[in-house]
């Protein structure tokens, strides 16, 4: 069965609360700003969880924003929050066409953060699976055959198939930080992804990789 990876921004004002839960799905949820209660669990900014149950949210700060990745059939309507003081937007949706996600197969759902130093150019590389990235800080540029992105600003998202070769770079004045919500083969659990076509070995440098969630799922 084909699946899509969908990416949402959810905003909640100081009194924002969902009126009804989102239906169950494989989800990654990251608190970008503020403080929220997700399914009764208090979460601060820069924290993330995996959830496969129905989801409710309530803000406990002046304003909160949650970034949400989820796997769903590509023909479903957008899963938007409802309720007073709540605003959802679907920022990106892409069908996963390069992984054989057959019924009952196991996959890794990962959320991590990459920090690139000012002026760095990421040379030709690939990944073992696709994902939607979203910029946290700085600016970013992505060159690949399927989709290109220039002068991305914080909050902007882009798609990488994994199998397509990518070259990427940020500003020479400021480090860039971005999150990656990815679907990977299960054997990559706990491992750094990235195949550098120069022959270099993929290894995180101190401070440039933070793993939030590695969750094995069954579709």
- For the beta carbon of residue 138, count every other beta carbon within 10 angstroms: 19
Task: Give me the pLDDT at residue 25, please.
Answer: 97
Q: Grade residue 190 by pLDDT with cuts at 50, 70 and 90.
A: very high
- Looking at the predicted structure, is the pLDDT value of residue 182 above 70? yes
* pTM across the whole model: 0.94
Q: Report residue 186: phi and psi, to 5°.
A: -60, -30
CATH superfamily of 3-96: Jelly Rolls (2.60.120.10)
**Domain coordinates in residue numbering, the chain:** 3-96, 106-218
Residue in 88, 107, 104 with CA at minimum distance from that of residue 96: 107
Q: Tokens 């996600």 belong to which residue? A: 101
Question: Would you give the DSSP letter of residue 23?
Answer: P
**Cα distances (angstroms) measured from residue 175 to each of 46, 116, 135, 178, 212:** 18, 6, 11, 10, 20
**91 burial class (0-12, 13-18, 19+ CB within 10 angstroms)?**
middle
Mean pLDDT of 80-90: 96
**pLDDT per position as a tens digit, 18-73:** 999 999 999 999 999 999 999 999 999 999 999 999 999 999 988 999 999 999 99
Q: Which CATH class is domain 106-218?
A: mainly beta
Question: Would you give the DSSP letter of residue 172?
Answer: S
Q: Grade residue 122 by pLDDT with cuts at 50, 70 and 90.
A: confident
Same fold, 3-96 and 106-218: yes
Q: Grade residue 165 by pLDDT with cuts at 50, 70 and 90.
A: very high
Strands 86-96 and 3-13, by their bridges, are: antiparallel
Answer yes or no: are the C-beta atoms of 64 and 16 closer than 8 Å. yes
Task: Give me the pLDDT at residue 90, please.
Answer: 98
- Looking at the predicted structure, is the pLDDT value of residue 108 above 70? yes
């Amino acid at each position: 069965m084909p699946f899509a990876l969908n990416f949402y921004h959810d905003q909640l004002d100081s009194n924002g609360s969902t009126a009804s839960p989102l239906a169950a799905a494989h989800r990654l949820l990251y608190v970008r700003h503020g403080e929220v209660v997700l399914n009764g669990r208090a979460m601060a900014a820069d924290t993330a969880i995996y959830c496969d149950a129905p989801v409710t949210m309530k803000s406990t700060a002046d304003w909160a924003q949650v970034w949400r990745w989820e796997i769903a059939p590509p023909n479903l309507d957008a899963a938007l929050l409802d309720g007073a003081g709540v605003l959802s937007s679907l920022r990106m949706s892409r069908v996963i066409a390069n992984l054989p996600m057959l019924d009952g197969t196991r996959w890794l759902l990962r959320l991590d953060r990459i920090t690139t130093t000012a002026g760095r150019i990421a040379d030709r590389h690939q990944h073992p699976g696709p994902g939607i990235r979203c910029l946290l800080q700085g600016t970013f540029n992505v060159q690949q055959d399927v989709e290109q992105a220039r002068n991305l600003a914080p909050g902007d998202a882009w798609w990488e198939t994994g199998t397509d070769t990518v070259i990427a770079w940020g500003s020479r004045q400021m480090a860039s930080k971005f999150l990656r919500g990815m679907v990977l083969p299960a054997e990559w659990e706990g491992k750094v992804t990235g195949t550098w076509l120069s022959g270099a070995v993929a290894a995180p440098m101190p401070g440039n990789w933070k793993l939030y969630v590695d969750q094995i799922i069954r579709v």
